[in-house]
Amino acid sequence: MQTIVQSDHDFSRTFDESTAQSLITLLRIGVPVTLACELQGISRRTYYYNFQTQQGFAQKVQQAKLHTVVLAAQQIFDVLQDITREKWDENNNLIAHGKYDQALRVKTAMWLLERKSEGFGGK
């Protein structure tokens, strides 16, 4: 990856492999591009220039953003599956609850249904 010196804003850091990897790490955990750039001392303009001109960087960014979506989907699935974790504890004569409270499970289900219904004429 070539080193690109950015020219806008007050940042003077160059865009090198270390910067690219740090950005990808931040994007992978869901940090927005603007904040990731600020944390790395580069401008958004530099980020987008490299995104458009460095195919390897663009591909890694897309994979990182997809990873974030997959993690979120796994968490939603875990919350929604939590109801199946509730079962009768015969030793203590009570219901063994799941990891999440009922309110969170309901909120998560409603959120997901709202998003899914958008494709079917919902909001």
Query: What Å distances lie between residue 4 and 33, 46, 58, CA to CA?
Result: 18, 8, 15
Domain boundaries of the chain, sorted by first residue: 4-120
pLDDT digits (tens, 9 = 90+) for 93-114: 777 777 888 888 888 888 888 8
- Over its length of 123 residues, how does the chain's per-residue pLDDT go in tens digits? 554 544 444 444 689 999 999 999 999 999 999 999 999 999 999 999 999 999 899 999 999 999 988 888 888 888 888 877 777 777 877 777 778 888 888 888 888 888 777 655 555
Task: Provide, for the chain, the percentages of residues in helix, strand and coil under a 3-state DSSP scheme, each rounded to the nearest 5.
Answer: 65, 10, 25
Architecture of domain 4-120: Orthogonal Bundle (1.10)
